Structure 1
C-alpha cells in the first residue's frame, strides 16, 4: 500500500470478501442505475406544462431542473461517502425509501414553491446510481473494470434517455403529475428488487468515523490532481449537456417546430444511439487509455454544438446534433470515471463523490445558464453557451496529462 492510499484507511481494516460479479448481477446493477437516475430527468420535457400549471415564466420554471441537479450534488456530498462506511445494500434501500417520499411530494405540490422544494428533495435522495457504479467497479476484475463500468453506465444512460421519452408522452396524455406518481411506484418495485438481489457488501473501513470520512474528501481533492482536473472537465461537459436538454422543450415549443412535450421526450430516443456506445467507450478506455477517449469525446461534443447552432432549425440537423452530443458526453463520462477509479481502489466511493458532486454542480450551473441564455438570445445563445462550456473542458483536458492510464 502506498503512502497516499494508506492515509485514507485505518490500520486493521479487513479486505472485502470476494464476490462474484455474474452477468445477471451486472444486469441488475445496470437496471437499478437506470431506473433510479431517471428521477432526475423526468422534469425536462415537462417544464412547459409545469410552467402553465403554476403560471410562471420560463426562467422561473427552469429552476426545477437546476434545483434537482443541485440537490443531487448535495445528496452525493452527504451520502455517497457513506458507501465507504456503511453496508451498501442497506444504504441503497433506505435511500430508495426516501426518494419515494420526495416523488410523492412532487405529485401533490400545490404551488411553485413546494414544487421547487420537492425537486430539490428528489435530487438529494436520488443518489443510488452513484453507489451502484463504484460497487460494480469494485466487484469487477481489474482488467475488466472499463467494460463493467461501461455496461452499468449504459443502463444509467438508457435511464436518462428513456426518462425523457416516457415523461414526455405521459405528461402529454395524462399530465405531468401522473409521471411522478408512476415514478414513486417504480421506485417501490426497484427497492424490493435490489433488496432481494444485491449481495451484502460491507465496507472495508468499519472503524472510520463520518467526520474522518468527510475530511478525507478534502485530502483526496488536495492530493489527487487527476481527480481535480477530471472532475472539472466532467462538470463543464455535463453543464453543456444540461444547458441543451433544459432548453430543448422551449425551443421545440416555438416556430418552426411548435411541438409539445411528447416530441421533446421523443428526442431522448434519438440519444439512445449514444447510450448504446457506452460499453465500447469502456473497452476503448481499457485499450487506448481513458484520457485519450475523454479528449476525443469532448471534441465530438464540441462538434455537436456547432451543428446545433448552424442546422438546429432543421429537424435532421437537430437530430444529428443530439446524437453527437449524447455520444460525446457519455463517452467522456465513461472514460473519466474509469480514470478516477484506478487512483485509489479503496476510496472509490469518495473519489466518485468528489467527481459526481462537481459533475452535477456543473449540470446545475448549465441549466441555470441555459434558461438565462434562452431568455436573452434564445437558441443561438444556448448554442454559444454550450460551445463555451465544452471549450473549457477541452482546455482542462489539455493539462490533465498525469493520468496513470491515459
Structure 2
C-alpha cells in the first residue's frame, strides 16, 4: 500500500502490515458507512407524515422507499464498479458531496414527482457504502477479511438503527424535511473529515474502459456461481427485511397504539442484535462455518414473523420479532459477502456491486408489496408475506447445500 505525499503520516490510518487493516481505519470505514446508509432508511418512520404532507394515498407511499432502491440499484451498476477503475478516496469524497445535494433536493421538494426523483438520486449516491466495504475487503488480509467486513457492516447496521431513531426525533421537532437537511449537512462534514484524514490508497485497478468495466459486472453473474447462489438469498432476505421495516410504521402509528415518530424510531434500537450478528458472523465465516451460520439464521428469520404477527396489539411481541429478524438478516448478509469476496479478490468493487444489486431489487419489491398488502388486507397479511419470503430463502439454501451449489469458507 502506498500513500500520496499529502496523506497523513500516521501508520495506524492505514495498515499495520501488508494486507492488514488497522483498527483506526476500520473504525473510520464503519462510521462512514453508518452515516451514508442512514440516507436510505430515513424515510421509513416518516411515511405517514410524507403521505399527509403531499396528499399521497397510503397505498402509494411505499414508492418513497422503492424510488430510493431504484436509485441504489442504478448506483450499484453504474457507480460502484468505478472503485476498480479510479482512486477510491476521490470517488468516496465525490459521492458524499453529491449525496448532500440530493438530500437538499428532497428537503425542498414540493411535489410527488420531484420528491421521487430526488430520492432516486439519494439512492444513487448512497452506494458509497459499497465502495467503502470493497476498500476494506481489499486492504484486509485473507484471514481477517470476514472479520473486517463484519466490523464495517456493523457500522452499516448501526447507521440503519440511528436513521430510524434520529429521523423520528428530528421529525417530531422540525418536520420530516428537517431530517434530510440535517443529513445533507452531515454528508458535507464527513467529506471534510475524510479529505483531511483518509490516505490515497493504491489498489489493483481494472485495465479496461468504463463500458467494458460495466460489461464485466454482467459477466460476473455468469461466471461466479457463488454470486448467483448468495445473491438469490440476499434478494429474499432483504425483501423480507423491507416488508417489516416499511410497513410497521403504519400499524404502530394508527390506533390503538398511535405512536409518535420518535417512539416508532426507537424500535430501531431493538435491532442492535443485527450489529452483534454482523461481527460474529464474519468471524464464523473465517473459521469455515458459513453454511451452518446461514442455515441457522434463515430458520430464525422465518420464526421471527410469529411474534411480529401480534405486533399490532403488543409492543413486546414487535420488539421480539424485530430483534430476531435483524439478527438473522445481518448474519446471512455478512456471510454472503465473506464468501463472495473470497471468490475474486481482483474484482472487489464489481463483486459487491453485483451482489448488492440483488439487495436493492429485493428491498424495493418488498417495500412496494408491503404497503399494498397492508392497505388491502392488513397487518396479518403483511406478516404472512414476510414469513413466506423467509421460508422460501430457507428452502433454497437447503437445496443449494444438497446439490453442492455453494462455496465453503476457506
Provide TM-score, normalisation by structure 2: 0.92
Aligned residue runs from structure 1 range 178-327, under 5 A: 178-310=178-310, 312-327=312-327
Residues 221 and 354 in structure 1, CA contact (< 8 A), matched pair in contact too: yes
The answer as to whether partners of 1:274 and 1:330 remain within 8 angstroms in 2 is yes
- Within 5 Å, give how 1:3-402 maps onto structure 2: 18=18, 21-310=21-310, 312-401=312-401, 402=405
Q: Is the 8 A contact 2:20 2:141 kept in 1?
A: no
Q: How many angstroms apart in 2 are the aligned matches of 1:74 and 1:392?
A: 26
Count residues in correspondence: 390
CA RMSD of aligned residues (A): 1.5
1:321: how far off? Answer: 0.4
Q: Could you tell me which of 389, 392, 408 is aligned with 1:405?
A: 408
Whether the aligned pair in 2 keeps the contact of 1:230 and 1:400 (CA below 8 Å) is no
- The CA deviation at 1:55 is 1.4
Residue 6 of structure 2 corresponds to: none
CA drift at 1:20: 5.1
What's the offset of the Cα at 1:274?
Answer: 2.3
Aligned equivalents of 1:285, 1:148: Cα separation in 2: 11
Is the 8 Å Cα contact of residues 234 and 359 (structure 2) preserved in structure 1? yes
Question: Cα deviation per residue 1:258-293 (whole Å; 9 max; x = unaligned)?
Answer: 112111111011111321332111111222422221
Which stretch shows the higher mean deviation, 195-204 or 292-301?
A: 195-204
Is the Cα contact below 8 Å between 2:19 and 2:141 reproduced in 1?
no
Given that 2:236 and 2:389 are in contact with CA atoms closer than 8 Å, whether structure 1 keeps it comes out as yes
Distance in 2 between the 1:107 and 1:137 partners? Answer: 34
Deviation at 1:125, TM superposition (A): 1.1
SS state of the match for residue 205, structure 2?
A: coil
| Partner Cα distance (2:294, 2:40) in 1 | 24
Listed one character per residue, the Cα deviations across residues 57-86 of structure 1 (whole Å, up to 9, x for unaligned) are 112222101111121111111111111111
User: In the TM superposition, what is the alpha-carbon distance from 1:198 to its structure 2 partner?
Assistant: 2.2
Q: Is the 8 A contact 1:249 1:260 kept in 2?
A: no
Q: CA deviation at 1:202?
A: 3.3
Compute the displacement of 1:310 (Å): 4.4
In 2 relative to 1, CA 355–130 (structure 1 residues): closer, same or farther, beyond 3 Å?
same
- Match in the other structure for 2:8: none
Aligned partner of residue 375 in structure 1, secondary structure = helix
Q: CA deviation at 1:206?
A: 4.8
- Once residues 146 and 157 of structure 1 are traced to their aligned partners in structure 2, the CA distance between those partners, rounded to angstroms, is 16
Give 3-state SS (helix, strand or coil) of 1:405's partner: coil
Separation in 1, partners of 2:366, 2:69: 10
* Whole-angstrom CA distance in 1 between matches of 2:399 and 2:158: 31
CA distance in 2, matches of 1:328, 1:404: 20
| Distance in 2 separating the partners of 1:298 and 1:197 | 39
Counterparts of 1:20 and 1:189, CA distance in 2: 28
Preserved CA contact (<8 Å) 1:301 1:390: yes
Question: How far apart, CA to CA, are the structure 2 residues paired with 1:209 and 1:332?
Answer: 34
Give the TM-score, by structure 1 length: 0.93
The Cα offsets for residues 111-163 of structure 1, whole Å up to 9 and x where unpaired, read as: 11111111111111111110111111111111111111111110110001110
